[in-house]
Structure 1
Amino acid sequence: MTSEEVETISVKARIPLFWHDQPSLWFGQFETVVNPQKPSEEAKFSLMVAHLEKMDVEQIIDINMSKDRTGRYEEAKKRLLSVYEESGARQLHKLLNDMELGDQKPSQLLNRMREPAREKVPDATLQMLWLQRLSISTRAVLAVSEQKSLDVLAAMTDKMHKQATETQTVCSGTCKGHSKSSPLCAREQKMHGELDLRDAVMQLTKEIAELKVQRTMRATHRYRRSAHSRSRSRSTGRNNNYNRTTRDVCYFHKRFGENARNCRSPCNYGKRREN
């Protein structure tokens, strides 16, 4: 088996079957794997068809059977995208109504929401829609955060989500033998929920305080550098004035001024006094 054949097999193995729910993403993945090999358009078409299901091939049967093989890959790609790609209205509907947190991490939900929101919804609106899917306690914690980055907020929320999940696990073990609706279990759930929220608020407050300290230290450092620069500038100015004043004056007049008993040429002390 030649190295070219081995490479061809390797490329085929890295290409997944066609994704009907995300055709644009599939073509992006397909071309990322295939294009480095610099295949011809016809070779790309053959590789693409090999990863389609029967109902997909039926959508491009006329292209597949055409005697004119020019541009078949791009034409088939365009056809499949038009068949399976959701309209902008449908994507927005999914973003507004269909996406829920479920068993995902908050960051995973955010990444899923970014795809239909891309180039259609500003980040501020996306953040609002994402926050609406989170629990009330999580939103309460994030409301006091000065952090604006969506990715950082998502990472913080993942930590809180993990803590809440662990709390539920502990509560589930505590409530064994009791009905989940029993007063004992309800009190346990409320207690653990309050503790979890309190810990999250404390952690967030600590992080905000650290950010403020860092900001203050940076501001202080900039002020000190600026003050030092101004001080050096004033000192340099004084030295320059002194140098101009004492230029062309002999040692005796520099040292004793008008009380000097001697004078050594060249010396302009007398002329300076006249001026």
Structure 2
Amino acid sequence: MATPEEQIHLLQEQLKLLQANDKQVMAASAKLPPFWTDKPSVWFGQVEAQFEISGITQERTKYNYVVAALESQVAGEIADIIENPPKEDCYQYLKTELINRLSASREERLRRLLGEEDIGDRKPSQFLRHLRGLAGSVLKCDDIIRQLWLKRLPTSIQCILATHEGMPLEKAADMADKIAEVASSVTVQAVQGPSSEMTDLLLRIDALEARSRKSRSLSRPRGLNIRSRSASRAPTGFCWYHRTFGRNAKRCTTPCNWKNSENQMSSQ
């Protein structure tokens, strides 16, 4: 019959086996997220959280999980390691090499941060987070990041945010998002076209302007032609009243030959 000490030892061994089996079951259900090509260090943070939840501690097991999760394009970057993995610390070596080979260098990050990145179709707050990701530990000054962010926003947003210089950067980003949403809705309305009421008003304005132009173009030459024709038909020696009104003239100024002309016409 086993002593109490031996029974305790036997139970402890059985417990270890059960725990090992539980870990294997958990490890078998672990699922790694899709690989982040632009941020491999963040991806490895997620992966290691999964390893901890699943109770995976062996270097080789971690290594196999990571290699199995990589897409072909990323795997090609570490083909030499996959073909000839190190015998010790294989997971840690794989992690270090992947981050070093895929992460942008300090100089490249600064170059993109200072001159090449634009907002594209991102929200202002998303673009701010992107610039902060590029800055990383290289540039931690919020004032400089604010200026780099502001100058790449649309002019309309810049003008409004310029009146809120003391606002914290996160709140400024939230305000910029709201301004961008309003501007986007206005743009959609403009693309859809004006309302029927506005269209009718525009047509009426165009018609009135066309009528006014036509009236001016016709009235001016007609007046000139009337005066020129009346002047050419009027006999010489008459005053302005008789040249203009003939027998209906109520006044007469000298010199004027109207009376002589009337006498000649009556004698004939």
Confirm or deny a common fold (TM above 0.5).
yes
Aligned equivalent of 2:98, options 77, 80, 98: 80
Q: Work out which of the residue numbers 28, 53, 56 in structure 2 matches 1:36.
A: 53
Residue 147 of structure 1 contacts residue 153 of structure 1 at CA under 8 Å; is this kept in 2?
no
Please say if residues 125 and 174 of structure 2, whose CA atoms lie closer than 8 Å, have aligned partners that are also in contact. Answer: yes
Q: 1:145 aligns with which of 145, 155, 164?
A: 164
Q: Which of the numbers 161, 165, 181 marks the counterpart of 2:180? A: 161
TM superposition score normalised by structure 1: 0.56
* Equivalent residue letter for 1:69: K
Runs of 4+ deviating beyond 6 Å: none
Change (3 A) 1:167 1:22: same
Matched letter for residue 155 of structure 1: D
Partner of residue 136, structure 2: 118
Counterpart in 1 of 2:122?
104
AA at the equivalent of 1:37: S
1:57 to partner: Cα distance? 3.7
CA distance in 2, matches of 1:36, 1:154: 35
Which residue of structure 2 lines up, in the alignment, with residue 136 of structure 1?
A: 155
Tell me which of 21, 38, 42 is aligned to 1:25.
Answer: 42
Equivalent residue number for residue 173 of structure 1: 192
Give the whole-Å Cα distance in 1 for the aligned partners of 2:77 and 2:123.
Answer: 37
Indicate which of 69, 73, 76 corresponds to 1:51.
Answer: 69
Q: Figure out how many residues of one structure are paired with residues of the other and give that number.
A: 175
TM-score normalised by structure 2 residue count: 0.58
RMSD: 2.6
Give 5+ residue unaligned stretches, structure 2.
1-20, 197-201, 203-268
Structure 1: segments with no counterpart, 5+ residues:
178-183, 185-275
SS in 2 for 1:80: helix
The answer for the alignment partner of 1:192 in structure 2 is none
Q: Give 1:55 shift.
A: 4.6
The one-character-per-residue Cα deviations of 1:215-242 (angstroms, maximum 9, x if unpaired) are xxxxxxxxxxxxxxxxxxxxxxxxxxxx
1:92 pairs with 102, 110, 113, which one? Answer: 110
Letter in 2 for 1:132: K
Change in CA separation of 1:82 and 1:119 when aligned onto 2, cut-off 3 Å: closer
Q: Which residue identity lines up with residue 44 of structure 2 in the other structure? A: F
What secondary structure does 1:167 align onto? helix
**Does the 8 Å contact 2:23/2:55 carry over to 1?**
no
| Percentage of identical aligned residues | 32
Structure 1 distance, partners of 2:132, 2:107, is 15
Measure how far apart 1:37 and its partner are: 2.5
> Does the 8 Å contact 1:15/1:30 carry over to 2?
yes
Alpha-carbon contact 1:21-1:84 (below 8 Å) kept: yes
Q: How far apart, in 2, do the equivalents of 1:138 and 1:176 lie?
A: 27
